[in-house]
Structure 1
Amino acid sequence: MISSTTSAAINHLLVRETWARDKLVKHAGKVAFFDAGLSGIRLKVTADGMVQAAGAEDAVNVTIRVKLSDLPLILQHRDHAFSYVQIEGDADFANTISQLSESLRWEAEEDLSRLIGDAAAVRVAGGVRAAVDTAISTQKKLAENVAEYFLDEKPLLVRPRMVDDFASEVARLRDDVERLSKRIERLKGSR
């Protein structure tokens, strides 16, 4: 089910990109397994450069493993997405997948324009982008304000610099106590 839905979404992108299908045609019949730990997606490249859900009996040519904890980083830094994954198998096929993952983009305006027209699609997509940007900015400001509150106004957190200063003072005090202890021992010994 997940593989079928994923293949439909990828094929939606590939339909408009001849260059991408041409890259995939070279790997026709090969299967890629995307392993996210709890679930996995098996996709097979077809003769026309599209993808389809692969069966369990199909041999896997490349396995791409990703940790779920790395998904936010991958989504944030798509151009470096493959630096967060572990790859096993056909290196050329994996390289093609990497290139496509960096280059293929969904053009929401184009899909919306078929339903509501060009001008409305541009405005709706722009509104959604603005809403997402506002949500991200609001979340960032909220996190900064909460951190500032817990650092300055109701100190439950400590700034790293303050911890370093405290550790330095403790080390200095320890050294002073040791020097004083040695002086006291010398004074006792000289009597």
Structure 2
Amino acid sequence: MSTQSPFPFLEGLLQKLPLPQIQPPAWAVNEAQRRLVLLLNHVLMQEPEAMARLARQKNQVMLVQWRIFSFKLQATPAGLLDLASAETPADLVMTLTDESPLSLAQATLRGEKPAVRIEGDVQLAAEVNWLVEHVRWDMEDDLARVIGDVPAHTLSKMATTLATSLREFMAKAATFVPGKSSV
């Protein structure tokens, strides 16, 4: 008898639980969005080509949304990002189509990109796609500035090993069939 992974069952169970819809206060959402913009700009500043591409899209507004969460980003003339006002119409709307946090986490651990529905400016969408494909955060380099090269390298290596192990575990869990030996 073939059985599927328990993850879809657990996810369905979690969705059926009567959990209260907790809405964080507006100030906390705004602060989290500002911190995210700071992080994105920090990463963008390490890649001059990314900044040049964003500068060409100055004043263009991107709406990013998933479930009840959304925020608007605006390209600045400096080639960075800023939060756009809620009233500003979006030139590009990017919606994560997978509603399940568990599915998104599994896809991320497998190294896959989430499914996104894109509406709006084609050129802006192409630039955003280029950014996603080519810009990477060098966390080890940033960490080395704070704690030194050797500890940063060691922590980075440990994180890479953990991520690889999690990917392997998720791959095995997705194909798990109870009652069959995998030896």
Q: Give the TM-score taking structure 2 as reference length.
A: 0.70
1: CA distance, partners of 2:145 / 2:45: 15
Partner SS state of residue 177, structure 2: helix
Match of 1:106 among 120, 123, 137: 137
Task: Tell me the CA shift for residue 8 of structure 1.
Answer: 1.3
1:64 is the counterpart of 2:97:
no
Please give the residue correspondences for 1:13-52 in structure 2 after superposition, counting only pairs within 5 Å.
13-52=43-82
Q: Which runs of 5+ in 2 are unaligned?
A: 1-29
**Separation in 2, partners of 1:101, 1:126:** 23
- SS of residue paired to 1:105: coil
Matching of residue 85 in structure 1 with residue 109 in structure 2: no
1:108 & 1:126 partners in 2: Cα distance? 11
> C-alpha offsets along residues 40-90 of structure 1, whole Å, 9 cap, x if unaligned?
121011110000111112221111111234634763323xx5xx2211111
* Code of the aligned partner of 1:105: R
Tell me: CA distance 1:22–1:120, structure 2 relative to 1, closer, same or farther (3 Å).
Answer: same
For the 8 Å contact 1:3–1:43, the answer to whether it is kept is no
SS of the aligned residue for 1:64 comes to strand
For this pair of structures, how many residues does the alignment match?
A: 146
Q: TM-score w.r.t. structure 1 length?
A: 0.68
**Bigger helix fraction:** 1
**In the alignment, what sits opposite 2:84?**
54
- Tell me how far 1:103 sits from its aligned partner: 1.1
- RMSD value, Cα: 2.2
The structure-2 alpha-carbon separation of the partners of 1:87 and 1:134, relative to structure 1 and needing over 3 Å to count, comes to closer
Partner in structure 2 of residue 180 of structure 1: none
Partners of 2:107 and 2:75 lie apart in 1 by 23
Percentage of matched positions with identical amino acids = 24
Q: For 2:122 and 2:107, locate their aligned partners in 1 and report how far apart those are by CA, in whole Å.
A: 20
Matches within 5 A, 1:114-133: 114-133=145-164
Among 10, 21, 42, the residue aligned to 2:40: 10
Structure 1's 56 and 139: CA in aligned 2 closer, same or farther, altered over 3 A?
Answer: closer
Question: Contact (CA 8 Å) 2:64, 2:95: kept in 1 or not?
Answer: yes
Distance 1:92 1:142 in 2: 39
- Give the structure 1 partner of residue 24 of structure 2: none
Pair 141,54 (structure 1): closer, same or farther in 2 beyond 3 Å: same
Q: Is the 8 A contact 1:3 1:42 kept in 2?
A: no
Distance 2:89 2:169 in 1: 47
How far 1:131 sits from its partner (Å)? 2.1
